[in-house]
Structure 1
């Protein structure tokens, strides 16, 4: 597990996303849980985002902290997520994490799949 140095790739959490991560972790009775964001092959646009709560890290993980919450991204996924911002939106249609990924050349309508 590595803390991110100033010159390495980054992924950001908005305050709304950090608030939601902390609320989910507290709801599980484990306030130290982190949001894990991953990218895998698949989906209608080539790559698919995955979210989970995780209490463990590996040597290949990078940890990003914001507003009292932690986000974990593995090195492989980080290559496709560098510069991305994770937000949490609760509107009339749905409540979900949303990713603004500058590496995505197109996204599908569901918002969980992209091409790069």
Structure 2
């Protein structure tokens, strides 16, 4: 069954913290581009909504996914991870058959 990606409460909470720290609310864009060491890579950045974007929203915080990236992110979970090596937004993607050590690049 095809399901859209979902965003964890932890990721939405981190977006709210960033908005509070910076004084501005920015949407987080999660996109998939060709490239990287495994064939595809995630492009995660702050951006403005564009026509055709899927907008996932909670408590005024938004995550954007463009229509080209959406099929690559079916059933994926967008999360926020804090580890010793650093804190970052991550994508837990069941469609990826393999990924590289950096967690940004994957193949299908």
**Which TM-score applies when normalising by structure 2?**
0.89
CA contact (8 A) 1:13 1:85 kept: yes
| Match among 67, 73, 82 for residue 65 of structure 2 | 73
| Match among 26, 39, 45 for residue 46 of structure 1 | 39
1:97 aligns with 2:89: yes
Unaligned stretches of 5+ in structure 2? Answer: none
Question: SS of the residue aligned with 1:20?
Answer: helix
CA contact (8 A) 2:99 2:107 kept: yes
Q: Any idea what the Cα deviations from partners look like across 1:57-101, whole Å, max 9, x if unmatched?
A: 222211012354211000000010011101111122221111110
Deviates more, 1:93-102 or 1:73-82: 93-102
Aligned-residue CA RMSD (Å)? 1.8
Aligned counterpart, 2:17: 23
Unaligned stretches of 5+ in structure 1? Answer: 1-7
How many residues are paired up?
Answer: 108
- Listed as ranges, the matches of 1:78-89 within 5 Å are 78-89=70-81
CA contact (8 A) 2:81 2:88 kept: yes
| Greater than 3 Å deviation, 4+ residue runs | none
Aligned counterpart, 1:13: 7
- Structure 1 position 48, deviation (Å): 0.6
**Which TM-score applies when normalising by structure 1?**
0.83
